[in-house]
Structure 1
Amino acid sequence: MKFSANLGFLWADLSLPDAIRAAKRAGFDAVECHWPYNTPPAEVTEALLETGLPMLGLNTARGHVTRGENGLAAVPNRINAARAAIDQAIDYAVLTHTANIHVMAGIANGPTACKTFIENLRYACHLAAPLGKTILIEPLNAHDAPNYFLRDTEQAAEIIDKAGAPNLKLMFDCYHVGRTEGRVISRLRTLFPLIGHVQFASVPDRGAPDQGAVDYAEVFAELNTLGYTAPLGAEYRPEGKTEDSLGWLSADWARPSR
């Protein structure tokens, strides 16, 4: 398997360019981030070129975080702001050669929210397709993201089907699926054709993958069997220094062979 360092959590004490360099030194194959917009894209691109690491993904802006917003795309009265966030994310992705854009749904519910989300996703996919970019959606568990619109993988699969865009895919986060649905491997098998990116962390504490209720030796072996070849996103919260949490990266079970 190959691995991507999610720099929203790993090396979060460093600037984004320096975190990219730290990920390279640690042996990661790629990087991804949450909200890079305070860092000039030229600085990110310079670090990516220096290290040779690809940037796999970034998120659309959450909106007014101090007012409790956690994404905008499913919020009916925030359509203009949601589309501005999509434009911003795609522009940044183009400048940094980032492959995937995670469009965050936000806190909403009901049929109008669903319709709004689908329309905004179609807008994002239409802009992203000629640029070779993939749009991702990710269900978040209710413990970490109360009242988030996108709650589970079944709902996400229905929305992907209704949106009808070939460059709309599922971000399958094993941590969120583990907390909400508890059937990580069976959901991977069922949803594999829809998956655009995979992330992981221990369940339930969101720590390194060599602990917790999900056996990542089995998960990585299953992904290997399914033929998944893209880097997997290490999106976990390290205890203490990131470097001290990376023992799993060199473990035999983390690199199953075909």
Structure 2
Amino acid sequence: MTLSDEELTRYARQIVLPQLGGTGQQRLKAARVAVIGAGGIGAAVIPALAGAGVGKITIVDPDLADLSNLHRQPIYRSRDAGEPKAALAGQFVRRLNPFVEVNPIERRIDPGNAPTLLAGHDLVIDGTDNFATRLAVSDACVGLGLPLLSAAAAQWQGQVGLFRGRPCYRCFVGDAFDADDCDNCAELGVTGALTGLAGNLAALIAIRFLAQAGEDPVGVLHLIDGLDGTQRPIRIPADPGCRACGATPSS
């Protein structure tokens, strides 16, 4: 996949990186990424991917922009309140980088439609705010053989991890959170800078992964503590009894 003169100029500061180069930039242009959730995490992931030149971005989010969320969703404006976030995020991408093909989907992803919505992508990035959706996305990724980059933030704590096959995200959280009744940011609160930090870390890992730059970070969860300013990686073990990716996964 070739790069135009304008693209070479646009991405010059990335292409000059020896770990990325022209080959890595071509890989980014050829990549297809699904971003699930255009909230606090997505509002950091989407500009970073579009700016880096990821060729095709699908944005899945059923919600509307809301004033109470703007402190952590800077791609929207006060006047956007009440408008669909997926469509607004798509408009943002088109204004930022005309070389990126964006597909906004104003639907809630669930176990029934996740395989259809995610099929055909090279990477899925989940920034949703409830375990039921995260597990539905994770199970679909396991079934489709897709890598999943999961990012979350609440209060002062964040986490980002890349999962591919085994271990999967369900290995990490287990089966207790399939019900859609867990706390989210509306109840727990969250700092806007933290969602930006977690989202940008997810985008950085995604760019490295897609461009094949640096070590493969699969199976490592990065824990962020916004109060003391620290970050530490932990390795997630595979759960032999996991009903998604275990030896005898359920259908």
Q: Is this a same-fold pair by TM over 0.5?
A: no
Q: Is the helix fraction higher in 1 or 2?
A: 1
Between Structure 1 and Structure 2, the one with more strand by share is: 2
